Structure 1
Amino acid sequence: MARIFSIINYKGGVGKTTTTYHIGTWLALNHGKKVLLVDVDPQTNLTFLCATPERWQDFRDNTGTIASLYRAHLDDKPFNIRDIVWSKPIEKAGKPVVPGLDLVPSDVELLSIDLDLQASSTGFTRLEDAATQHITKRAILSNALQEVADEYDYILIDCPPNLYLVTQNALAVSEAYIVTALPDHLSTIGLEILYDRIKKLNNLLTYASAISGGELKGPDLGGIIFVRVRLGGTKITKAHVRKMAEIKGDYGPNVFEEYTTEGIGYGEASERALPVFLIDDANAKRVADQYRKIGDEFLARFP
């Protein structure tokens, strides 16, 4: 049975998608794990790290995306998530290069679908009915992933920087959530807000499940990974050292020991829709070891 994790942050540009992608590809490439990446961010960045926009367009037009799952729910139609699993999407010269990794691609249509999910709420006079609807709207992804969970070791869900219903679906199916963060003041504030909001969402899920007979409970905080740590020469700048120590003091063992620094190798790899481990380029090689270590630490924490 797959272990399922959501990777999330309220802020954009904090390495969330890059981290999801490289942990997933490293687990598949180096540890022989079967990994399913699920992109629920309408920006579709994780999808475009796996495949070019042209290949995605063809897959979307002929097969569908994660938006197809939610649209089927809104239309009260059956749907099998296997129909939108993109097998071995990462290619080089037309050949799969990460054979153990599959993808459920995203779609900008998720923006309107989230609004439609919220608009479909119905007023109830009975508490049991309200609780059942609360669970039903947040169990769409959970119910779908049950169909394929036995086929993977890990399912990693890349979430958008919000806590709307599609994001709540991702959290509800996850055993834990991973936060990527810059070691700066705003990230510290954002961590506190995100932690408190998810705790409240979990409490509501637990309460509604108890009333309706559902089984959703929400995820625990599984880890905090620092990204784009700034170096002064070969050492971390004092400002980032202080902030990393402060967050570690607040969250203790949840903070990963490994981290990434700023580097242009990630951008160069994303242009080729390949992980840094598979790029024979000096800039990529300089940063590849960082995600190797993060991937290994992730596996040690969640074997």
Structure 2
Amino acid sequence: MSEAARRPRGSGRLIAVANMKGGVGKTTTVVMLAEALAADGASVLVVDLDPQASVSVCLAGETALAEMIARGRTLEAYLALKLVSREKPLLAPRIQSQTGVTMHRNAPLPLALLPAGPYLRLVEREILYELTARNFSMRAIDGKLRTIFEDEFVPLAERFDYILFDCAPGISPMTEVAIRGADLVIVTSIPDYLSTYGLDAFIQTVWGDKDRRHDAVVPARQPHVLVTRYQPQVRQHQHTLARLQAEANAEDPGFRLFATRIPQAAALAGALMPRRDLPTFSGKYGIHVSTILIPLVAEVKGVFDGA
């Protein structure tokens, strides 16, 4: 049974944005989608699972993030206390309830953040060492992390309409738990050979291993691929997109394909840069609000409306 199947109806949605490859627009997508959903009236929590902490810097800024790290108000600090020191920390106090500085209709967008710092990868490794030393098998470690996810993260769906997980490249322990427990997994990919090369392997690893691992939690839905940094004038992008469309339209597809394409655009890259002023949502994204963000929000909501 999937995690979503156990969740009460009417609660918030958990969305993991992932890919085994880095540099394919995961963080850009998380920031844009989070702000677009918030502008649409939803309450949104962003959870940073990437030790690069890119989404934390984008939403909170370097100064605020440094303070959160110093005060132990990050995901890795919580995990270290919980699993290495064996204390009983609370997750909720580490959620920054108002981190967004983008304005919409004369008020800040309702964005909350559970930040990560650069030591997240080290903490995840230390967790593996610690639990292994306590005679936990890898399967038991997976179960331990899954229990934390179910007990601490899933209940947050009663507080927020959407929880977006910015996943690390590859499949780290917490990233895999988030992907398997999400209501929707968005796989961002540039439409070129190298970016899509590992797509089948990623899908097979997560969605196709239920026969090999009987205790593995399979995500609630097929992954939905979102094409990013699309350049329609580039022939390789045209050919790769056509191949993705053909695979998604096959009789038994391994993934779905969003109709929205995120273009290669300086305005979108610039939207992630920290600014000293308080930008408005429409001023920040310009024409992309109507051509990209509103259609993407409609597609994401449509996934759940069609459930």
1:97 partnered with 2:94: no
**1:225 alignment partner in structure 2:** 226
Contact 1:44 1:108 in 2 (8 A): yes
Quote the Cα distance in structure 1 between the aligned partners of 2:226 and 2:91. 30
Quote the Cα distance in structure 1 between the aligned partners of 2:138 and 2:179. 20
Residues 85-120 of structure 1 show CA distances to partners (whole Å, capped at 9, x for unaligned) of: 111201259x96212x21111111111011112223
1:183 partnered with 2:183: no
Percent identity between matched residues is: 21
**1:255 alignment partner in structure 2:** 257
**SS across alignment from 1:38:** strand
Residue 203 of structure 2 is aligned with which of 185, 191, 195? 195
In the alignment, residue 274 of structure 2 is paired with which amino acid?
Answer: R
In the alignment, residue 42 of structure 1 is paired with which amino acid?
Answer: P
**2:214 alignment partner in structure 1:** 207
Residue 70 of structure 1 is aligned with which of 79, 88, 92? 79
Summarize the alignment of residues 1-303 of structure 1 with structure 2, pairs less than 5 Å apart.
1-30=11-40, 32-62=41-71, 64-74=73-83, 75-91=85-101, 97-99=108-110, 101-122=111-132, 131-199=139-207, 207-208=214-215, 216-232=217-233, 237-252=234-249, 254-272=256-274, 278=281, 280=283, 284-288=285-289, 289-303=291-305
Residues 108-135 of structure 1 show CA distances to partners (whole Å, capped at 9, x for unaligned) of: 1111011112223448999xx8754431
**2:252 alignment partner in structure 1:** none
**SS across alignment from 2:261:** coil
Residues 124-182 of structure 1 show CA distances to partners (whole Å, capped at 9, x for unaligned) of: 999xx875443113332332113422111111101010112121221232123110011
Contact 2:102 2:280 in 1 (8 A): no
C-alpha displacement of 1:239: 2.8
Contact 1:89 1:103 in 2 (8 A): yes
Contact 2:231 2:237 in 1 (8 A): yes
Q: Which moved more, 1:58-67 or 1:188-197?
A: 58-67
Counting helix residues as a fraction of each chain, which structure ranks higher?
1
- Shift of the 8–275 alpha-carbon distance from structure 1 to 2, 3 Å rule, reads farther
Q: Pairwise CA RMSD of aligned residues?
A: 2.8
Q: Structure 1 regions of 5+ residues with no counterpart?
A: 210-215
Residues 208-260 of structure 1 show CA distances to partners (whole Å, capped at 9, x for unaligned) of: 37xxxxxx44453331000111133xxxx443222112112212371000111
In the alignment, residue 16 of structure 1 is paired with which amino acid?
Answer: K
In the alignment, residue 6 of structure 1 is paired with which amino acid?
Answer: A
Contact 1:178 1:224 in 2 (8 A): yes
Quote the Cα distance in structure 1 between the aligned partners of 2:82 and 2:268. 37
Q: Structure 2 regions of 5+ residues with no counterpart?
A: 1-10, 250-254
Quote the Cα distance in structure 2 between the aligned partners of 1:125 and 1:110. 23
C-alpha displacement of 1:301: 1.7
